[in-house]
Structure 1
Amino acid sequence: MSYFKETAANIVGNKKLRAPQLQAYLRIQEFFSTPENKEALVVLPTGTGKTGLISIAPFGVSEGRVLIITPGLVTKQSIQKAQEILEDNFWVNFDIIFDPMDLPSLSEYSSSISMEHLETSNIIYSNIHRLTGDNPNALINRVDPDFFDLIIVDEAHHAPANSWKTTLEYFNKAKVLHLTGTPFRGDNQEVPGVKIHETYLSEVMRDKYVKWLRKESVNATELYFSMPDAPGRKFTKDEILAFKEKEWIEKSVALSKDCSLEVIKHSAEKLAELRTSSPNVPHKILAVGCSISHANDLLDWYREEGLIGVIVHSQMSKEDISLSFSVIDNNDCDVVISVNMLMEGYDHHYLSILALFRPYRSLNAFAQVVGRILRAIPDDLTTAFEVDNNGLVIYHKETGLDEMWQSFQRETDRARHQRTREYAISDREYVERDSTLSDVFSGESFISGNESYLDDIDFNEIFKNKRAEIQRLVDEKLESIKGSSSINEEDLELIKSTLIKNETSKAAREIDPNLIEKRPDLARKKLRELLTKNAQDSVADLLSDLRLDEKSAELAPSFMGVLPYLKATDPNDGVLVRYINSKLQKRFGSVNQRDNKGLSQSIDAIPEIIEELRKMIQ
């Protein structure tokens, strides 16, 4: 057995983890439980918890060492911050592992790392540039092809580049998990791997895991173009289109000072409004330019509006990039100006306005840059979610970005449709709920949606109480030691550290066996919750797409011959959820009789039923 199979990790029933993380984790476990399955893809929007998923994914899956590959320095530092024990450790802070002594052995790959250190590590992480090449110290030149059992590729839309391919081909016996915020590469080809899970942006907006999104385009009432071979003459847009491509117009607008100033002025006004509404939150603009020279101009033009800017681009030295990020993190600027550096993995919540000064042809690139303003500001730092977590995208209309925005518009429209909250339930449905709704029936009493035999098991609460108990015990022992002998503060700290370590290990011996024993039950409960949530989310999205209100009753008459005991006044969302439940019940049996595999298959079947409903309703 490997470390990741043996270690008691509190994942499936963990209340600190988000639903997309848990659903993706269960999919990963299920997929790799079949030996023939070797390469998987998971799509999670930026700000949803991808780094956390990377941290939990190996548990119960990997039979050996894990390699985490990142595309660059910033993403690697994000992983490092989450996993290093001296940093903001995810496994401890999110109650994944109770005893810090049980944390995985973690190493960053470098040319100087010893072979012994590599062999004793559970996880090795590195950016892609250190893994391949002719250098004898490149990782693939130092270890055997079977050195890793699981490879996790972060920001997997970079994966098809030659260096990534070389690495994955060398470690061809390993399981490979690709993670990305968008399932398309820069050339619009699909990212490799079987897509086993995708969380849609509308879902995480609905749950307020990320900022809401809206856009405002700037459009001049009169727009004129000049031509070098026609000095002094002004051309309208229609005149130019007679002999120039649309792309020429879009590039000209993007590089025009006048058009850029319009976007700058509008974004500056919106920032001022936002800061007036929420003066204690250091909101910022993220401005994306075409080139380094363009970025320098943007810096000057924003300065003329009274705003302090900082530039970040891929040609800067590590020291200068670090300095720029320090200025951003310390909230010493108003505008972050980026060129060819999407800051993947950089976690700054206060980028709230995106000002675009360049056209895009790749939906992947557009999605990546919009993702930079998605990270939600924590509730305890906001005036109100609706004010502070309402991201705004601004661009000039003639840069041609409306087409790119349409995919986001669909998701924002869907997010406005809330999940089903209320149902009209007939007496007959109540009687038959065991076979269709899976509620627990005992005589005349009825508890909706609960599994009482698991209600008393809350490992987050157990972790919290045990840690408080350990702190009390240690404090009492320290007081006793201080009262009985003369000892300096430095020695007391050493004793305190040893006592905490010993008491934590003792508590872990009590908690861990119980955690391991309850894994299947916790997984079952979570799968049932996810089944309900997926059905409700899918119905909300479908009603949004069809422009139907959740609580109106247009659909009920059409389904009265299909669903028993339906009333003509039953709301649309309730009707569709009942239809899904009925279809699943016929295919997989009563939900309270389904095993974990059946529950997982039920979740998989929902998209097919939704498409069936779409055809029925349209």
Structure 2
Amino acid sequence: MTIRLRPWQDAAVRKALTWLTETRQDRHFLINAAPGAGKTICASMIARRLIEMNEIDRVIIIAPRAEVVRQWAEEFKFVTGRPVTRVTGADGEVDDYGTDLCATWAAIQGLQDAFQQVCMRSNTLIICDEHHHAAVQASWGTDADSAFAEAKYALILTGTPIRSDGQESVWLAFDSHGRIDHPEAGSYTLTYGEAVSLGYCRPITFHRHEGRFSVVVNNGEEAIAVSGTDSPSIPQSLKGIKGLQQALDFFKLACTPKYLPDGVTPDTNSYQASMLEWGISKLNDLRDTVPNAGGLIIAPSIPVAQYMADLLEILDGEKPVLVHSQLPNAEARIASFKNTNKRWLVSVSMISEGVDIKRLRVLVYLPYAQTELAFRQAMGRVVRSLGDDDYSRAYVVMPTHRILEEYARRVEMEMRPADRVDESRPRQTKLCGVCGAENPKTATSCSECGNDFPARSERFKTCEDCGQLNPISADSCQNCGASFRAEYDITLNEALRLGAIVRGMDLDEDEVRASEANKTVIIDQVLRSGDDLLINLIKQVPEEGLERLRRILNRD
């Protein structure tokens, strides 16, 4: 079967084959290409060519998670025609059928000897996806180095080659600044900016989302203003309050859910709601030209993800797909979203790398990890192209935050000036999601196939200064210029909560709150069990850590 490669893929295949089979200076070849540029197809073609040249007998692919393993198996078979046995747990079989294998990084830990035997018996190519996971000093890196020491070749794939913790990855050399220092002849690099210029990835626009919090102290008599642009001014009389400076962190306040007095219903007058309103408006616009365009929300924790999902359902009218590690069949939920017309996907970290959902176009980014690696992995989810006729942009709405802004500027500088400018204009037409026909923007059904367009209710907000109606996503009044920058009140006690460090345990605030709310139930369950080991254990666990203990016991 003939497969038409992109020019960069063809060049990378030729360069890899020269390095591995002719130069033979090193058994490792590095492909450092932007997320969404097509590394999977490129690597699969290199494997196919090595098989055809009788250089290798088997291929082992390592990927970050089960959903990515599934994607690899499908695309690898499409390119090579060879079936792949998927291994996503330590109890998997790696040699029974003699087939090519695709395993998660986590699976390697319990199957080192089995993988090592495969490499010793067969000429094996290792394809290492998202290589930043394989730190020399980390368990996954150590396990991979041992399991694949006898592999004939290793193809290393990455779009974010620098780990956030500064550790070096196995099989590669690094310079004094922590950047990969692999020989140029043994590497192929395609930056995000180059991928945009070539049409492989969509250009991206970053929207900083401002907000103002008023932290109320002294029973409401004083308030300290907190924003993402200005350092808070703390009165001299309050500077002695322990932890106050940390409590006034804008990003922390931006990640704090706000509920109505019932403590259950999300408050639509919240910072997160204003972010979501902007995202909803942008997604509505994009769906005129990309009818199945979707949005992704990355939240800092599972409770905040649930809060965002509930809030989004109130604001958008459609229940989003929620995925996180504690939900059953999370990977199936991801696959289902990929193949439906659902608007929004809400996650914590399960969608941040490797997962290929090309229709994603809007990212609401409120993460836990504030690293450049996590930032670029997240933006990679929304820049993938739907094809030659896809002229849409990708959009990220994120908090006004110095670190995130620095990462965004670096991405911006990779793009050509022409690609940095958002030249989108309100279109007077929209495309049918069934037949692709172009219709007037006001049409209620397609003139070609009769498909009904979903009703879209325009949402507006009223300027308190002049009474003028404005689009919900407007930053300021179109009539009088008054700022719509939202302000939110929060008490000092709420702001001071940062989790706990108790007896060597570094606990998240969500765990502390859950422990406080459920401690009586947890202790009662343990006592009722009659298990002396558990009873003795719980006596040694501080109250703040009870939720952590409960989760560990449930997981096991």
User: The TM-score by the shorter chain falls in which range?
Assistant: 0.5 to 0.7
Is 1:312 aligned with 2:323?
A: yes
- 1:334 counterpart (323, 343, 355): 343
Q: Give the drift of 1:149.
A: 3.1
Aligned residue in 1 for 2:305:
295
Distance in 2 of aligned mates of 1:172 and 1:128: 16
Secondary structure at the counterpart of residue 316 of structure 2: coil
Q: Aligned pair in 2 of structure 1 residues 305, 108: CA closer, same or farther (>3 Å)?
A: closer
Secondary structure at the counterpart of residue 415 of structure 2: helix
Q: Aligned pair in 2 of structure 1 residues 271, 104: CA closer, same or farther (>3 Å)?
A: closer
Alignment of 1:137-536 (within 5 A): 139-140=114-115, 143=118, 145=120, 147-160=122-135, 161-174=138-151, 175-189=153-167, 191-192=169-170, 193=172, 194=182, 196-220=187-211, 223-226=212-215, 233-237=222-226, 240=232, 244=245, 248-255=249-256, 257=258, 258-275=270-287, 277-278=288-289, 281-308=291-318, 309-317=320-328, 319-331=329-341, 333-358=342-367, 360-379=369-388, 385-386=390-391, 389-398=392-401, 400-414=403-417, 416=419
Secondary structure at the counterpart of residue 255 of structure 1: coil
Secondary structure at the counterpart of residue 395 of structure 1: strand
Distance in 2 of aligned mates of 1:80 and 1:36: 30
Larger of the two Rg values belongs to structure? 1
Q: Give the drift of 1:298.
A: 0.6
**8 A Cα contact 2:210 2:399, kept in partner:** yes
**8 A Cα contact 1:157 1:184, kept in partner:** yes
Q: Give the drift of 1:207.
A: 1.4
Report the residue type matching 2:324 in the other structure. Answer: H
Q: Aligned pair in 2 of structure 1 residues 415, 79: CA closer, same or farther (>3 Å)?
A: farther
Aligned residue in 2 for 1:21:
9
Secondary structure at the counterpart of residue 179 of structure 1: strand
Q: Aligned pair in 2 of structure 1 residues 172, 227: CA closer, same or farther (>3 Å)?
A: farther
**1:116-152 deviations in whole A, cap 9, x for unaligned?**
622xx3x32222333332x6x9624754646443211
* Structure having the larger proportion of residues in helix: 1
**8 A Cα contact 1:74 1:343, kept in partner:** no
Is 1:127 aligned with 2:104?
A: yes
Secondary structure at the counterpart of residue 369 of structure 1: helix
Q: Give the drift of 1:350.
A: 1.5
**8 A Cα contact 1:259 1:396, kept in partner:** no
**8 A Cα contact 1:227 1:233, kept in partner:** yes
Report the residue type matching 2:251 in the other structure. Answer: E
Report the residue type matching 2:193 in the other structure. Answer: S
Aligned residues, how many?
Answer: 374
Secondary structure at the counterpart of residue 35 of structure 2: coil
Report the residue type matching 1:268 in the other structure. Answer: I
Secondary structure at the counterpart of residue 410 of structure 2: helix
Report the residue type matching 1:153 in the other structure. Answer: C
**1:362-405 deviations in whole A, cap 9, x for unaligned?**
100100000000111234xx5xx33xx21011122147521121
Secondary structure at the counterpart of residue 255 of structure 2: helix
Report the residue type matching 2:249 in the other structure. Answer: W
Secondary structure at the counterpart of residue 117 of structure 1: coil
**1:342-369 deviations in whole A, cap 9, x for unaligned?**
3533222211111112365310010000
**1:266-322 deviations in whole A, cap 9, x for unaligned?**
1111122222x32x61112111111111011111211121242111123323x2430
Distance in 2 of aligned mates of 1:114 and 1:251: 45
Q: Aligned pair in 2 of structure 1 residues 59, 313: CA closer, same or farther (>3 Å)?
A: same
Distance in 1 of aligned mates of 2:324 and 2:24: 43
Q: Aligned pair in 2 of structure 1 residues 241, 286: CA closer, same or farther (>3 Å)?
A: farther
Aligned residue in 1 for 2:179:
none
Distance in 2 of aligned mates of 1:265 and 1:163: 40
**1:413-462 deviations in whole A, cap 9, x for unaligned?**
456399xxxxxxxxxxxxxxxxxxxxxxxxxxxxxxxxxxxxxxxxxxxx
**1:556-604 deviations in whole A, cap 9, x for unaligned?**
xxxxxxxxxxxxxxxxxxxxxxxxxxxxxxxxxxxxxxxxxxxxxxxxx
Report the residue type matching 1:270 in the other structure. Answer: K
**8 A Cα contact 1:67 1:148, kept in partner:** no
Distance in 1 of aligned mates of 2:117 and 2:95: 8
Secondary structure at the counterpart of residue 337 of structure 1: strand
Give unmatched runs, 5+ long, in structure 1.
1-8, 92-102, 419-618
Is 1:79 aligned with 2:72?
A: yes
Aligned residue in 2 for 1:68:
61
Alignment of 1:520-559 (within 5 A): none
**8 A Cα contact 1:146 1:171, kept in partner:** no
Secondary structure at the counterpart of residue 127 of structure 2: strand
Instruction: Quote the RMSD (CA, aligned, Å).
Output: 3.0
- 1:108 counterpart (68, 74, 86): 86
Secondary structure at the counterpart of residue 372 of structure 1: coil
Q: Give the drift of 1:69.
A: 1.2
**8 A Cα contact 1:65 1:148, kept in partner:** yes
Distance in 2 of aligned mates of 1:83 and 1:313: 27
Is 1:117 aligned with 2:97?
A: yes
Distance in 1 of aligned mates of 2:218 and 2:353: 43
Q: Aligned pair in 2 of structure 1 residues 167, 178: CA closer, same or farther (>3 Å)?
A: same
**8 A Cα contact 2:255 2:304, kept in partner:** no
Q: Aligned pair in 2 of structure 1 residues 46, 411: CA closer, same or farther (>3 Å)?
A: same
* Structure having the larger proportion of residues in strand: 2
Alignment of 1:573-584 (within 5 A): none
Report the residue type matching 2:139 in the other structure. Answer: N
**8 A Cα contact 1:146 1:173, kept in partner:** no
**1:228-272 deviations in whole A, cap 9, x for unaligned?**
776553102356365625992222223254221211111111122
Distance in 1 of aligned mates of 2:58 and 2:306: 45
Q: TM-score normalised to the size of structure 1?
A: 0.55
Distance in 2 of aligned mates of 1:230 and 1:67: 63
Aligned residue in 2 for 1:519:
none
- 1:52 counterpart (33, 36, 41): 41
**8 A Cα contact 1:148 1:171, kept in partner:** no
**8 A Cα contact 2:116 2:146, kept in partner:** no
Q: TM-score normalised to the size of structure 2?
A: 0.61
**8 A Cα contact 1:20 1:48, kept in partner:** no
Secondary structure at the counterpart of residue 232 of structure 2: helix
**8 A Cα contact 1:218 1:394, kept in partner:** yes
**8 A Cα contact 1:145 1:171, kept in partner:** no
**8 A Cα contact 1:182 1:368, kept in partner:** yes
Secondary structure at the counterpart of residue 23 of structure 2: coil
**1:4-42 deviations in whole A, cap 9, x for unaligned?**
xxxxx86xxx6x101221222122112223334022321
**8 A Cα contact 2:251 2:399, kept in partner:** no
Secondary structure at the counterpart of residue 300 of structure 1: helix
Give unmatched runs, 5+ long, in structure 2.
173-181, 240-244, 259-269, 422-556
Distance in 1 of aligned mates of 2:19 and 2:139: 27
Report the residue type matching 2:222 in the other structure. Answer: R
